[in-house]
Amino acid sequence: MWRSTSKISHHLQYPDGITHVYSYFESRGGKFPQTLFFGLQYILKRWLCGQVVTKEKIAEAKEICQLHFGQDIFNEEGWNYILEKHNGYLPIQVKAVPEGTVVPVKNVLFTVENTDPKCYWLTNYLETLFVQCWYPMTVSTGSYFQKILLAEYLESTADDFSSLPFMLHDFGFRGASCVEGAGIGDAAHLVNFKGTDTLAGLMFARKYYGCKMAGFSIPATEHSTITTWGKDGEVNGFRNMLEKFPNGIVACVSDSYDIWNACENLWGEELRDLVIERGKRNGKLVIRPDSGDPVAVVLKVLNILGSKFGTVTNKKGFKELPPYLRIIQGDGICYEMLDKILGAMKQEGWSANNLAFGSGGALLQKLDRDTQKCAFKCSSMTNENGLFNVFKDPITDPGKKSKKGHLTLERQGDGFLTVEEGKGDPAKDLLDVVYENGKLLKYYTFDDVRKQAEIEKLQT
Ligand SMILES: O=C1OCCC/C1=C\Nc1ccccc1
């Protein structure tokens, strides 16, 4: 029965006389050693700006709580105070590291404190919303480390990084939990890349980060548009793509029946001249296998296409298909699989710039709050006797030990340092006041975020 957020009872649980509760958000560790901070601005704009408390909302909340708890624990006085004293604007201050900053784990990423002493209970009431930034942060972090991996393979097997921005395409819309989640996750991916099929992310980036067009895609077949031509008509479905889109890039999924036959005889013989002709008009064909063992299939497709269309050797000594011909592998892709495929390709002398990848479930869905161990903890409280450190330090998990006192995030060499117990230098604090009393005080555009997050290799 007690499945609800018990936070509604918390205003009754603090010691008397408290005037301020100060809490912070961090990634305690997990899959990756750093986290790319992204998505707080969305949470602030979507839920916490302007008059968010009204008479009607208070009445409804009161009714819901009475029904739900079967007793009167709703903080009606507290919410009425916010409505009357602050006109429904939340008396809260949020300080955060700039969006797009890549910070080693176990550092403070943002802090929250009430600005009105009577609203000490509000800081941690908002935890539920604030901690939901685990999702955009974790998607953006996974995408960021895939970008580093792809850049490393391009550095060792290709002449430049020009193919990097479109090398990992978001295929994850259909596998996301909901449209809103797909939008948040896709935007988080687009901090690092420019290829996506998840339209929701484009709308998200427009609405919350002022970006007119955050990602791009191309005409691509799916199995239905090919198999409706019948098995014997597969080649006609392929030819139709090349004719309906006489130039530019098109992608054709080619494993409906027999990927080997499709590469060898359909693309490699029957349509070969059309593919080459199209190439002369800056057309590009992207062949998409979509089944089988990704490593074996990619290598076999490369070898068949290489024998049919020829290859050139680039300055790093690795083979490249003609510029009008590429592959996209969108099945079974995750961080670990990228390394397996590109490692095998490098072993066989193939440049990484022969292919792009599509990722769906692994990119947007195969993660949770524990992937980067995101947590929100109270580290300081104030009462009439002054300011006190607050912390937890479970003997059953030292990894859950929390920080103490007021925190600053400072540069240390080419890294970061979280200074605790109010011992930091405010002049060196990287945490900016991004929100105060219902107003967003700092606004990061998507371009700002992309620049902040750019990987070393690509930093100009
Ligand atoms: O397979 C897919 O499943 C999920 C939706 C996207 C998708 C394919 N799209 C695509 C885009 C650009 C080049 C090639 C394919």
Q: How far from 28 is each of 46, 143, 145, 375, 386, CA to CA, in Å?
A: 26, 19, 18, 7, 29
Pick one of 3.40.50.970, 3.30.390.10, 3.20.20.70, 1.10.4080.10 as the CATH number of 139-365: 3.20.20.70
| Amino acid code (one letter) for 33 | P
Which residue owns the Cα nearest ligand 1 atom 2? 171
Tens-place pLDDT, residues 315-360:
999 999 999 999 999 999 999 999 999 999 999 999 999 999 999 9
Look-up: residue for tokens 């979509």? Answer: 290
Is position 288 annotated in a ligand binding site? yes
Tens-place pLDDT, residues 373-398:
999 999 999 999 999 999 999 999 99
ipTM for this model: 0.95
Per-residue model confidence (pLDDT) at position 78: 97
Q: Predicted confidence band at 5 (pLDDT cuts at 50, 70, 90)?
A: confident
Q: Which of 33, 194, 201, 169 is nearest to 102 (CA)?
A: 33
Q: What percent of the chain has pLDDT over 90?
A: 97
* Structural domain boundaries in the chain: 5-9+20-138+370-458, 139-365
How far apart CA 282 and CA 310 sit, in angstroms, is 18
Q: Predicted confidence band at 103 (pLDDT cuts at 50, 70, 90)?
A: very high
Token digits for 75?
A: 């903080």
Q: Does the pLDDT of residue 2 top 50, yes or no?
A: no
Per-residue model confidence (pLDDT) at position 3: 41
Contact 130, 74 (CB under 8 A): no
Does CATH place domain 5-9+20-138+370-458 in 3.20.140.10? yes
Q: Average pLDDT of the chain?
A: 97
The residue-averaged pLDDT of 49-66 equals: 97
Does ligand 1 have an atom closer than 6 angstroms to the CB of 301?
A: no
Does ligand 1 have an atom closer than 6 angstroms to the CB of 424?
A: no
Tens-place pLDDT, residues 213-257:
999 999 999 999 999 999 999 999 999 999 999 999 999 999 999
Is position 361 annotated in a ligand binding site? yes
The residue-averaged pLDDT of 428-436 equals: 98
Tens-place pLDDT, residues 123-179:
999 999 999 999 999 999 999 999 999 999 999 999 999 999 999 999 999 999 999
Q: Predicted confidence band at 367 (pLDDT cuts at 50, 70, 90)?
A: very high
User: Could you identify the atom of ligand 1 that is nearest to the CA of residue 328?
Assistant: 14
Is position 290 annotated in a ligand binding site? yes
Does ligand 1 have an atom closer than 6 angstroms to the CB of 255?
A: no
How far apart CA 191 and CA 197 sit, in angstroms, is 15
Is position 281 annotated in a ligand binding site? no
pTM here is: 0.97
How far apart CA 38 and CA 145 sit, in angstroms, is 14
Per-residue model confidence (pLDDT) at position 395: 97
Does ligand 1 have an atom closer than 6 angstroms to the CB of 358?
A: yes
